[in-house]
Chains A and B, each alone.
Chain A
Amino acid sequence: MMERAMEQLNVQLNRLTRSLRRARTVELPEDNETAVYTLMPMVMADQHRSVSELLLNSKFDVNYAFGRVKRSLLHIAANCGSVECLVLLLKRGANPNYQDISGCTPLHLAARNGQKKCMGKLLEYNADVNICNNEGLTAIHWLAVNGRTELLHDLVQHVSNVDVEDAMGQTALHVACQNGHKTTVLCLLDSGADINRPNVSGATPLYFACSHGQRDTAQILLSRGAKYLADKNGITPLDLCVQGGYGETCEILIQHHTRLFQTLIQMTQNDDIKENMLRQVLEHVSQQSDSHYQRILTSLGEVATTNGHKLLSLSSNYEAQMKSLLRIVRIFCHVFRLGPSSPNNGNDMGYNGNKTPRSQVFKPLELLWHSLDEWLVLISTELDRNRKNPSSSSSSSEIASLLFKQRESDHSAATPKLPSLLDHHIVMEAETYADGEDVISMTANRLSAVIQAFYMCCSSQMPQGMTSPRFIEFVCKHDEVLKCFVNRNPKIIFNHFHFLLECPELMSRFMHIIKGQPFKDRSEWFYEHLLASQPDSDMVHRPVSESDILLIHRDSIFRSSCEMVSKSTNEKLKQGIAVRFHGEEGMGQGVVREWFDILSNEIINPDYALFTQSADGTTFQPNSNSSVNPDHLNYFRFAGQILGLALYHRQLVNIYFTRSFYKHILGIPVNYQDVSSIDPEYAKNLQWILDNDISDLGLELTFSVETDVFGAMEEVPLKPGGISILVTQDNKAEYVQLVTELRMTRAIQPQINAFLRGFHTFIPPSLIQLFDEYELELLLSGMPEIDVQDWCRNTEYTSGYDPQEPVIQWFWEVVKSLTQEERVLLLQFVTGSSRVPHGGFAYLMGGSGLQKFTVAAVPYTSNLLPTSSTCINMLKLPEYPSKEVLKDRLLVALHCGSYGYTMA
């Protein structure tokens, strides 16, 4: 009894010491749930001695499943690679095929985690390799997903069916291909996996390899004879490669199935395929060899020609065919510009003549250009014929319709018919002429799109920025037809004649038509092209990096802005501007707007002496004496940059320039009326000379002026030898022009040039040309809100008008009915500026102080248009007989006003 008690005590003591020494319990708790959580950490750490000890005398069920996913300790051991514990558990009768809640066996977990030894032991204990989990995945699927080839190699020998499918019908080969595990794929194939096995949606291993651009895997499959099969929706491996932009995989597909080359080319016609992906693929394939390059381009040329011809078929869908043609040609030009892969051909730019092999690729397109040419010749003949029978087309068709009507009534009245022969003849003739009209209107859009394609091809053979002589020749040849197109449908310019923006020599031919288009259309076109050079125009909202933020000091805004802008690059500034004021948190569009606003005000700060106020005090132009500031030309360049940058980013600036300076920005010559903005008295004198016969006045003027150069009067000739050339009635116009240029341009030429250098870094001169000086003001400074009531209240009337006069009543009714844009035009027309002064029309300034808006009467003669004197804010309004005539004439003057101005 005593002995037993002693023994028990000993055991307990022993247990206590062991427990204390090992810092854990040495006896497994009775219930499985508590016991398993005691064992789990030991199994994870593969503490097999402890586990063995604990299990030794316990009644613990080794197959006890626990936790959320109901795994056994064997699962844990297999998962963690605790091979000793695993063996221990197996020896103690753990079921190697026990499945957890997701159907996974310990073998699945070991396979997933690549536990080689565990797998070996599990197999030794007869683990079933063919068990599927709930998703149908087997151990070999798991090995294949992760590319564990070595393990797979061992395991696959035990597998009864290497093509075992998961719930989606996917085999191990599918998943290995998708993930691009080359050796795994080879191993599975060597083990007899079905290379063409489709899954439930019909996707084969090759399909999977292509969907993820697994080039090497695709190569293996194809060289092992994989078939090229589409899935159940008809999507092919090639489709997948193109969708993903996998050029290398495409190349492999084409190597094995040469016909896929044509399919790839045909894809350029498919609107659903992303152009940049397809381009990427074709780009890659073209770089494989010279012959690939030649073949791709030749085939693209053929497809483009067919599409172009379809576009010229009047029953085809214009939108779709046009887009298709332009897309193919864009891709063509892109690939062409890349050049062939071999460097010895790379130097040849192809514009040295048509004999080089590289330009041979344009040959298929020649068919299309030939058709285009023939079409334009045909239309020119139609035009000629219509011209030779002026109005006959309309009159004869009128006659025809009259005859028709007459015949109808004749018929009903049963009176004798007209001789049917004549009748028929006239109808026929009318039809042909009507046809002629139709041909032009029906084909203009289509032909213009082909012209656009032609230009793209011509340009791709030229160095950047040069217009192909062939294209220039083409435009000159068909000048008349092209002008006819755009006259009838000016939208064509904006839709297809982008070439005009790139070649000034052609632009001038169409300028008058372009200028006649609404301001809105032109500014859209302007921005479209301004931003087109931006590579990632769709990536506007990139995060800005800290180093790209312009950090500006408010107290030295001009200087610090100048420093920051000159430190940055033009490219960065084009991509986006981020401004932060020193010591302030704020950033974003609001701050940028504020910066432009304050900075533009600062640029005209008289302290810098860069700009001077004009006579009316609200507009500015370069100061001819700005050289007091030795760095002035750099500052002018900076001012130009800021204005250009503001325009580029559609930010408005708070500066209004003189009409003449806007003209300088546009490169339009100034005229004597512009002088009034800087010297109204002098302008009146010039006007007087022009208006009066100066023959007998004895002015004794010569082509020279006296100017004050640093305090000394100096005689400056207006032209070579001008000092001895007398101004006469005959040459007075030239004198006025030259003296105007001297005052307005030559005096500030260096400043203008410096300003333009800055401006043109952001705004190409060819683009800004689209606007006149009035519109440029609107672009730079925005469209002001105009309060018509305030305007009306602050208007004076002279030369016989008074507010009660019907003409004046009509005038204000018309003004109220105008659009905002037209009102601004009216304001610009009369005051020379779109600006409404702060405080409203009451504060409108003229050449000599406050000068209210004034309407003056002019005797009415037919077709007389309103005119204005901008320096005294006077509208000279003829006494129109009706409101309708008034409105009509006013609108004509507004829309053509600026035009007439430059020509005056």
Chain B
Amino acid sequence: MAECSASLNGQQHEQADGETCTDFLFKFLVIGSAGTGKSCLLHQFIENKFKQDSNHTIGVEFGSRVVNVGGKTVKLQIWDTAGQERFRSVTRSYYRGAAGALLVYDITSRETYNALTNWLTDARTLASPNIVIILCGNKKDLDADREVTFLEASRFAQENELMFLETSALTGENVEEGFLKCARTILNKIDSGELDPERMGSGIQYGDASLRQLRQPRGTTTQNKQQCNC
């Protein structure tokens, strides 16, 4: 009887806290040239809507959403950067400690594709070297005006060890997948030990729900703790 009511209580706790109860918090960046639709991707991901009258982003914008990946709740803290050159030095100051990034180009603009190498160098040097990057060819809905082929871009992704997707912030196609794929890869790296959330600047933090893990017998984390204490 007592057992039953306790576990019932536990469930209620989870429900009451709703989406603020998360296992991890990942810091994400959205980068790429001006006009490629970075803000629209973010808007679509968070609001499930296409933003019609989109202005140039000034500096860096912020958005967050809690997602469920592989049985874990993860809060994505997303920093959407301005693509315009004049904001470059400001946006660069946000790179440090990002765990993941969406590198965005516009499939109808060769110019934005050509700039990818620069963006990539920035991300790899300024953010964590372990940063997980997914390349997004946006505006997939404008196939008629395409200037960059899928094949070409996927080759570029392969050469640079990036994941790759073509997305449409207008229709929402592959938008969710882009963010989730990136998050899933990071989780895998945590599980495999390649990433250590405890390390500063990893861009990963434990969320407030990680206590639930503590209630259960702990596995790897306990061992880590014990090692630390030595």
Contact = CB atoms under 8 A, between A and B. Distances in A.
A234 B62 contact: no
A163 B13 CA distance: 22
Contact of A227 (B6, B12, B206): B6
Interface in B1-54: 2, 5-6, 9-10, 12-13, 16-17
A263 B208 contact: yes
A377 B93 CA distance: 12
B200 interface: yes
Contact of A438 (B58, B87, B94): B58
Interface in A375-394: 375, 377-378, 381-382
A316 B59 CA distance: 13
Interface stretch (A142-150, A196-204, A694-702): A196-204
A315 B62 contact: yes
B49 to A, nearest CB: 15
Contact of B9 (A229, A371, A373): A229
Contacts of B59: 312-314, 375, 378, 439, 443
A257 B17 contact: no
B86 A378 contact: yes
Contacts of A378: 59, 86-87, 89-90
Interface string A435-461: 100110011000000000000000000
A381 B87 CA distance: 11
A367 interface: yes
A211 to B, nearest CB: 16
A370 interface: yes
B9 A202 contact: yes
A258 interface: yes
A367 B96 contact: yes
Contacts of A260: 211
Interface string A215-236: 0000000000001111011100
Nearest to A314: B58
B90 A371 contact: yes
Contacts of A257: 211, 214
A439 B84 CA distance: 13
Contact of B215 (A194, A228, A309): A228
Contacts of A198: 5-6, 9
A230 B9 CA distance: 8
B13 A196 contact: no
B12 A202 contact: yes
A375 B90 contact: yes
B65 interface: no
Contacts of A737: none
B12 A262 contact: no
B62 A313 contact: yes
Given A228-B215, A374-B89, A262 B13 contact: no
Interface residues of B, number: 35
A202 B86 CA distance: 55
Nearest to A228: B211
A21 interface: no
A233 to B, nearest CB: 7
B92 interface: yes
A259 B9 contact: no
B89 A163 contact: no
B105 interface: no
B205 interface: yes
Given A196-B6, A378-B89, A310 B62 contact: yes
Given A374-B89, A439-B58, A443-B59, A259 B5 contact: no
B56 interface: yes
Contacts of A439: 58-59
A159 B23 CA distance: 43
B225 interface: yes
A664 B56 CA distance: 54
A229 B13 contact: yes
A296 to B, nearest CB: 14
Contacts of B108: none
B113 interface: no
A298 interface: yes
A17 to B, nearest CB: 65
B205 A262 contact: yes
A306 interface: yes
B134 to A, nearest CB: 22
B178 interface: no
Contacts of B90: 371, 374-375, 378
Nearest to B205: A262
Contacts of A377: 89
B97 interface: yes
Nearest 10 A/B pairs, CB to CB: A234-B16, A371-B93, A313-B62, A194-B2, A230-B13, A374-B90, A374-B89, A198-B9, A370-B93, A196-B6
Given A259-B208, A367-B97, 9 more contacts: A227-B10, A228-B214, A230-B13, A230-B17, A232-B16, A312-B59, A313-B61, A367-B96, A443-B59
Interface of A: 163, 194, 196-198, 202, 204, 227-230, 232-234, 257-260, 262-263, 266, 298, 306, 309-310, 312-316, 364, 367, 370-371, 373-375, 377-378, 381-382, 435, 438-439, 442-443
